Amino acid sequence: MSANPSGSGPGEVLAEAERRRTFAVISHPDAGKSTLTEALALHAAAIEQAGAVHGKAGRRGVTSDWMDMERSRGISITSSVLRFEYGGALLNLLDTPGHADFSEDTYRVLAAVDGAIMLLDSAKGLEAQTLKLFDVCRHRKIPVITFVNKWDRPGREPLELLDEVEQRIGLRPAPLNWPVGVAGDFRGLIERADGSYTRFRRTPGGATRAVAEDVPADLAAAEEGDAWTTATEELALLDEIGATLDMDAFATGSCTPVLFGAALPNFGVRALLEAVCRLAPAPTPRADEHGAARPVEAPFAGQVFKVQAGMDRAHRDRLAFVRVCSGRFERGMVLTHAATGRPLTTKHAQTVFGRDRSTIDAAYPGDVVGLPNATGVKVGDTLYDKRPVTFPAIPAFAPEHFMVAHVKDNGRAKQFRRGIDQLDNEGVVQVLRSDLRGDGAPVLAAVGPLQFEVVTARMENEFGAPVNLTRLDYTTARLTDKESAPVLSAQRGVEVLTRVLDGAVVAVFPDKWRVRAIEREKPDLTLTPMLAAGAPD
């Protein structure tokens, strides 16, 4: 069932999809990801002032960091969506948590994008979390644009950074622009395509767009002196070694366009924005769970990649974020929930910009639609109109930290159960239960310990059910089955629980050595490794 289309057809869907650029920014913590997100929105005139990502009292928080904990600690702990237009393109920027403890949320976001910006700190280069996230991009064949950030601060040589990208992750770098001035003495950027030079001047605190001045090459040579000479010599070297962009190699993930800049003072951000519009891929057909591609112009289908509550203090509702994979979405459509076959109404569909929302009447492939209070919908679910389809599930990560939750006040037991179920549906933690422990003592399983801080804060502030968390001495989890469960439960140091969200049987162990010992002793048992944090499936 669906609303009557208002004159839309395959041609309109294809044309609108071609305008879309849906991408994520990935990086190690403190590389400047949220600052860059703000700067991109600022240059697209989607916001008037960029926030400061410092988490200090009295400082503005970034638009994409809306949760209280994010603003107080100065880190991103949940993904968010920023939608804006620039140069005829419609951009859906999915900001991701940088901290490794929240890498599962980042993984879900990477299942919903068509491209990514890999952000590097000019002083630190490739860092651990960046490497893990790039591996996910490579596995999912997501084209990557590289932005070398913080060039206004002391850092490494640009050629050294390019060499590191090629040697460590096998991506052939192709600089689109080149800095004049070493890291820490950033003068401006030379565009390789035409040799034009742009010089930058700071604005107070980087809160508004940097002042950019186009300077003729002969004047730049006279005014910038040795810095100009060094930059032009390095550009000549890049030409000699053939470090130019190959679009086919970019599309297949073996080449990355590289740009330089500094997000905080807004240097080089416009060039990055234009590169995303020009180079990042538009939505393409998505494979269903059987490997068949669903055409972009097929009837509507979308996948839930995030469920989030607590975004609106006034309404306390629950929002399902749906990536449109095919067709035209129209507010008021009655969709089918693939997992249950039940109808789902969409009359309150919204578009999201950080914490702010507004009604959306239509959306196309690449767009993200927010569905308030979509009952029974969870991360990874497929919604469709007319032609049935189910997209591959988004796998859960292998947890490494486990705690038992108890409500502090037994009079708040109902709120406790509702809150735990909500956090489970959102994917904040995995909730495991067993007959032995009972419903009043669920086991919370997480990739990183900061996830438990989110649970504690939200259970108290959002659900009014403060909790006590008790650590369990497990570090390793494996998927098993009902036949193996009784044997595993009888083993020393092993506990078998059921994952509430999908009914999977999960065995937890004190360490990987115990797993290996049991595998040797009882090879007929089912012990399937789960997806490791930051690793491709």
Tokens of 268: 């080089």
Q: Is 96 annotated as a binding residue?
A: yes
Q: Which amino acid is residue 433, in one-letter code?
A: R
Q: Is 206 annotated as a binding residue?
A: no
Q: Which of 81, 45, 149 is nearest to 356 (CA)?
A: 81
User: CA torsion 71→96→533→395, rounded to 10°?
Assistant: 120
Residue 518's contacts (CB-CB under 8 Å, 6 or more residues apart) are 488, 491, 494, 509, 525, 527
User: Are the C-beta atoms of 190 and 241 separated by less than 8 Å?
Assistant: no
Which class for 119: exposed (0-12), middle (13-18), buried (19 or more C-beta within 10 A)?
Answer: buried
Tokens of 18: 């071609």
Q: Is 388 annotated as a binding residue?
A: no
User: Are the C-beta atoms of 405 and 441 separated by less than 8 Å?
Assistant: yes
DSSP H or E run through 307: strand 301-309
Rounded Cα distance, 92 and 17, in Å: 12
User: What's the first-to-final CA gap in the chain, in angstroms?
Assistant: 35
3-class DSSP state for residue 357? strand
User: Are the C-beta atoms of 194 and 163 separated by less than 8 Å?
Assistant: no
Q: Which of 123, 119, 121, 149 is nearest to 133 (CA)?
A: 119
Q: Is 115 annotated as a binding residue?
A: no
Tokens of 136: 């996910």
Rounded Cα distance, 87 and 365, in Å: 19
Q: Is 170 annotated as a binding residue?
A: no
Q: Which of 84, 87, 22, 25 is nearest to 358 (CA)?
A: 84
Which DSSP letter does residue 100 get? G
- Binding-site residues, in ranges, read 95-99
Binding positions for GTP are 95-99
